[in-house]
């Protein structure tokens, strides 16, 4: 009878929508006085963006300032500084190289005036330097062919770097990063065999940069799908090449076969964290185990998925990913800081699943608020038991705790009820990002999904997106209860006066 009753209960629960099931409960004990572990904010300083020329636009610079001020952005990485639209390289009637860095100057001058430094990606191939007309499918048609003459590529990199040092000074340019190419293991590089031809490009680039000044920082291989990192460092060692950092990319919807070489139980929730662990182990077992690890691109999707990158899904996904990555990376660059972006052409909808933190109409997305709240976390990590919990302590001694409740894209789950023990008595600020806090996506849907919102609609959507005023709560007896809907992120600052 007991077994029949249990089976009936399981069947009954299976028939209930997940959002209507009883809320999950979790007790979390935090030792606020415990010694902390270093917790650098490796995710907030570098962001990707649309191609180089977009940085000349007013909307790009306005959004860049907004993210800089709210999130702590210090560097931006973009493709195609050598694209022909920037006029960097051409040849005269006799086939001799002609260099023109005026537009590159305008691009970098603009960043530096805003207090943002470039994370320089050396790409793509100028038309007159390309071995053949190998165009990538992107809307702006970058050339991904190897150079027709590797020595001329090396001269281009050297002239470019020397110009930068002369214009901005070595003390400034030595703080930048120079990354050779973008994702040479897939269709962004037409050299064959891909690894060997890429290493020739890397060797020419690295030697050119170091000739200008040994303090210039160079790295690669900037691969997709967490590829080549260990192999790259081994080859650099064999050739005697510098590698001031190793860089790669991953997206949460990459396939296990592409990232790990086999099919397996790796889902969107854990893909990036698993890839981070893979690369960390590869680098640590390489001939250069202390090489800094840069994830110069990552996100929850490389596709345009509205229910992923425009929604509150990003909060618990990102918090869980960063918690798992801590201690295994030196830098992670979210792709991208805004939807000023044209890889698939000019945007067609207000919310189209763009990668950025700010929509094409300047509307902050949930991801913007997620990064803003995660900046509040302290620089020391504290012991805390439980799932979906990150406890930290700031330099000033304030306790800041992040709580999250994961749900798959487009789904809602029951709220998770947390009971925190060991937190400071007194006032605290409770910040939230979920479907009802910091997200304009639902309101846009209610409007009928206007592709080109009117100024009044844009103003309304901005007002909804900015509905993130924190709640002031009181802690008594060292305990606090917080319910977090799924998907949702909550960040609590304790010891508020």
Count of domains in the chain?
Answer: 2
Q: What is the DSSP track for 287-331?
A: SSTT--EEEEEEES-SS--HHHHSSTTHHHHHHHHHHHHTTS-SE
If asked whether residues 70 and 30 sit together in one domain, one would say: no
If asked whether residues 386 and 376 sit together in one domain, one would say: no
Dmax over CA atoms of the chain, in Å, equals 93
CA-closest candidate to residue 480, choices 78, 27, 106: 27
If asked whether residues 251 and 295 sit together in one domain, one would say: yes
Residue 68: other Cβ atoms inside 10 A: 17
If asked whether residues 414 and 436 sit together in one domain, one would say: yes
The 3-state DSSP class for residue 447 equals coil
* CATH number of residue 471's parent domain: 2.60.40.1500
If asked whether residues 192 and 260 sit together in one domain, one would say: yes
Residue 253 belongs to what domain range? Answer: 40-380
Domain endpoint, select from 353, 380, 407: 380
Report how far residue 93's alpha carbon sits from residue 68's, in angstroms, rounded to the nearest whole number. 45
Helix axes 271-284, 314-325, angle to 10 degrees: 20
- Give the pLDDT score at 254: 95
If asked whether residues 337 and 417 sit together in one domain, one would say: no
Write out the catalytic residue numbers. 183, 297
If asked whether residues 177 and 294 sit together in one domain, one would say: yes
Q: Per the domain annotation, does 2 fall within a domain?
A: no
If asked whether residues 221 and 273 sit together in one domain, one would say: yes
If asked whether residues 325 and 454 sit together in one domain, one would say: no
* CATH number of residue 96's parent domain: 3.20.20.80
Instruction: Enumerate the β-bridge partners of residue 472.
Output: 429
If asked whether residues 314 and 432 sit together in one domain, one would say: no
> Which residues, given as ranges, of the chain have pLDDT below 50?
1-22
If asked whether residues 425 and 376 sit together in one domain, one would say: no
Report how far residue 366's alpha carbon sits from residue 441's, in angstroms, rounded to the nearest whole number. 9
If asked whether residues 257 and 351 sit together in one domain, one would say: yes
Q: Per the domain annotation, does 5 fall within a domain?
A: no
Q: Per the domain annotation, does 46 fall within a domain?
A: yes
Residue 296: other Cβ atoms inside 10 A: 25
The 3-state DSSP class for residue 82 equals coil
Q: Per the domain annotation, does 349 fall within a domain?
A: yes
Q: Per the domain annotation, does 8 fall within a domain?
A: no
- Give the pLDDT score at 447: 95
Contact 384, 178 (CB under 8 A): no
Residue 193: asked if its preceding bond is cis (omega within 30°), the reply is: yes
Q: Per the domain annotation, does 283 fall within a domain?
A: yes
Q: Per the domain annotation, does 137 fall within a domain?
A: yes
- Give the pLDDT score at 24: 66
């Amino acid at each position: 009878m007991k077994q029949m009753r249990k089976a009936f209960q399981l069947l009954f629960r299976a028939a209930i929508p997940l959002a209507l099931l009883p809320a999950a409960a979790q007790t979390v004990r935090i030792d606020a006085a415990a010694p902390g572990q270093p917790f650098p904010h490796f995710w907030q300083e570098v962001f990707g963006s649309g191609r180089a020329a977009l940085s000349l636009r007013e909307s790009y610079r306005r959004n860049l300032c907004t993210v800089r001020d709210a999130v702590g952005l210090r560097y931006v990485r973009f493709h195609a500084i050598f694209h022909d639209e920037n006029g960097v390289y051409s040849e005269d009637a006799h086939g001799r190289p002609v260099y023109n860095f005026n537009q590159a100057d305008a691009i970098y001058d603009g960043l530096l005036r805003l207090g943002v430094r470039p994370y320089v990606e050396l790409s793509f191939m100028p038309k007159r330097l390309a071995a053949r007309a190998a165009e990538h499918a992107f809307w702006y048609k970058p050339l991904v062919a190897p150079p027709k003459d590797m020595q001329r590529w090396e001269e281009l990199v050297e002239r470019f770097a020397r110009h930068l040092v002369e214009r901005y000074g070595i003390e400034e340019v030595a703080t930048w990063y120079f990354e050779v190419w973008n994702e040479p293991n897939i269709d962004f590089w037409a050299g064959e065999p891909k690894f060997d031809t890429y290493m020739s490009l890397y060797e020419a680039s690295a030697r050119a940069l170091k000739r200008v000044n040994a303090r210039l920082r160079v790295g690669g291989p900037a691969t997709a799908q967490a590829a080549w990192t260990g192999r790259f460092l081994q080859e650099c060692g064999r050739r005697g090449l510098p590698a001031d950092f190793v860089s790669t990319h991953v997206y949460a919807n990459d396939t296990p076969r592409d990232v790990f070489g086999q099919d397996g139980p790796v889902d969107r929730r854990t893909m990036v964290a698993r890839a981070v662990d893979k690369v960390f182990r590869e680098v640590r077992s390489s001939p250069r185990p202390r090489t800094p690890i840069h994830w110069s691109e990552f996100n929850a999707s490389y596709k345009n998925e509205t229910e992923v990158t425009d929604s509150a899904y990003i909060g618990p996904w990102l918090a869980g990913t960063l918690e798992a990555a801590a201690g295994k990376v030196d830098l992670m660059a979210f792709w991208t800081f805004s939807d000023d972006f044209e890889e698939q052409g000019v945007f067609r909808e207000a919310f189209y699943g763009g990668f950025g933190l700010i929509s094409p109409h300047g509307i902050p997305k949930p991801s913007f608020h997620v990064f803003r709240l995660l900046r509040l976390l302290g620089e020391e990590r504290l012991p805390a038991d439980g799932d979906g919990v990150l406890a930290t302590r700031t330099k000033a001694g304030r306790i800041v705790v992040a709580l999250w409740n994961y749900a798959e894209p487009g789904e809602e789950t029951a709220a998770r009820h947390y009971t925190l023990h060991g937190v400071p008595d007194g006032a605290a600020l409770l910040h939230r990002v979920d479907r009802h806090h910091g997200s304009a996506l639902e309101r846009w849907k209610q409007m009928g999904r206007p592709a080109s919102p009117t100024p009044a609609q844009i103003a309304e959507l901005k007002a909804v997106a900015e509905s993130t005023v924190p709640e002031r709560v009181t802690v008594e007896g060292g305990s606090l209860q917080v319910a977090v809907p799924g998907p949702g992120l909550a960040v609590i600052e304790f010891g508020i006066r």
